[in-house]
Structure 1
Amino acid sequence: MNTAPLGSRRRIVVGISGASGAVYGVRLLQLLRELDVETHLVVSRSAQVTLSQEMGLQLADVKALANVHYPNADIGAAISSGSFRVDGMIVAPCSIKTLSEIATGCTSSLLSRAADVMVKERRRLVLMVRETPLHAGHIRSLAAVTEAGAIVYPPVPAFYARPASIEEMIDHTLGRVLDLFDVDARTVRRWQGAIS
């Protein structure tokens, strides 16, 4: 992983796209704030609808959780350039539209452009793809982003952890995502081996 030497504070870009599962992006921002990780947020227009429908949140509510927010149309934002040093990016959730733009390098928004920058700069990019079932075109896009160096991380619950609530399932999943950045969110019930 090519992490940027940023001093003692980590810096992660968070993208929230329009797929169902807006709670992953919101909770991720909350966890990163608790862990004192600097967050740079970009939210798609479709995500604003999903945030309202699924969580009753407005864009201002989510912006307040981030250190820096950029409008999705601002393709001149700091995160659109590889010269802006970050540890990586998490798209939570990641829609098939966003995935497809990253897979082809044909970016039409700041969210997909920032993700494309992570790929070209060989920085960590984690895509929490939220779609099912998948057709062949989706699978080809998943393969393409993986071959380019991104990590596809569908938010699949880990039932071995025996979660007692939806919140525990979400926190476990996000904790495993943050493990990929060597950030311990202290929300993962680690596998200790099967009990005989």
Structure 2
Amino acid sequence: MAELQRVTLAVTGASGAQYAMRLLECLVQAGVEVSFLISQAAQLVVATETRWQLPAKPQALELYLTDQFAARPGQIKVYGKQDWMAPVASGSGAPAAMVVCPCSTGSLSAIATGASNNLIERAADVALKERRKLILVPREAPFSTIHLENMLKLSQMGAVILPASPGFYQHPESVADLIDFVVARILNQLGIEQQLLPRWGEAGPQGE
């Protein structure tokens, strides 16, 4: 897979906002341009679960994230939920890959049915119709039959279903290690080099 230059990162209202913010940090550090989309529910989750206090307005949020992650000017672009002129809303302008992290089961359902009622849903619809990489990171327990059917449907369409299910074979010592496990799996799917987690069979940081 060719090195990605642009990625869409959408954050929806499931628990697990920490995954999204860490992923954004890693994408910026990798030099990737990020189109950042966030739902109103996700804004509330971020404020509840993390130290981040994200501005509501797209322009203010863009400046805030650029400053917080030391991104280069223009590296992070934030678009509002009804910004239908955003590049991500069209197959001719959308990035080659999109990640919805975390992906609420409501967003999962809307994407599976092609609802396209907001920019997140439309951007995911574009990724599917253009056969581009779409990674969905659900964080729910337990899954209902409806959730599982939607995930199967999306998998059959070509989406990658990557649940936020940290492993323990790397001997995590903190919550941050568990977050990095999931983020590393996302970066691997994107084909972006990462040092967060050794690949299976490789030595860990202490040669374990």
Q: Which runs of 5+ in 1 are unaligned?
A: none
Which residue of structure 2 aligns with residue 65 of structure 1?
Answer: 65
Which residue of structure 2 aligns with residue 18 of structure 1?
Answer: 13
Once the two structures are superposed, the pairs formed by residues 7-156 of structure 1 within 5 Å of their partners are: 10-60=5-55, 63=62, 64-65=64-65, 67-156=76-165
Residue 158 (structure 1) aligned with residue 167 (structure 2): yes
Q: Which runs of 4+ in 1 moved over 2 A?
A: 56-66
Comparing 122-131 and 61-70, the one that deviates more: 61-70
In the TM superposition, residue 62 of structure 1 has moved relative to its aligned partner by 5.9
CA distance in 1, matches of 2:134, 2:176: 24
SS at match of 2:169: helix
In the TM superposition, residue 56 of structure 1 has moved relative to its aligned partner by 3.7
Q: Which amino acid aligns with 2:165?
A: V
Q: Deviations over 1:19-57 (max 9, x none)?
A: 000111111111111111110100001001101111142
State percent identity of aligned pairs.
Answer: 36
In the TM superposition, residue 129 of structure 1 has moved relative to its aligned partner by 0.5
TM-score normalised over the length of structure 1: 0.90
CA distance in 2, matches of 1:82, 1:191: 36
In the TM superposition, residue 16 of structure 1 has moved relative to its aligned partner by 0.2
Q: Deviations over 1:108-158 (max 9, x none)?
A: 110111011101100100000011111111111111111111001001111
Q: Which runs of 5+ in 2 are unaligned?
A: 67-75, 203-208
Q: Which amino acid aligns with 1:131?
A: E
Tell me, yes or no, if the aligned pair for 2:87 and 2:94 is still in contact at 8 Å: no
TM-score normalised over the length of structure 2: 0.85
Count of aligned pairs: 188
CA-atom RMSD, angstroms?
1.8
SS at match of 1:161: coil
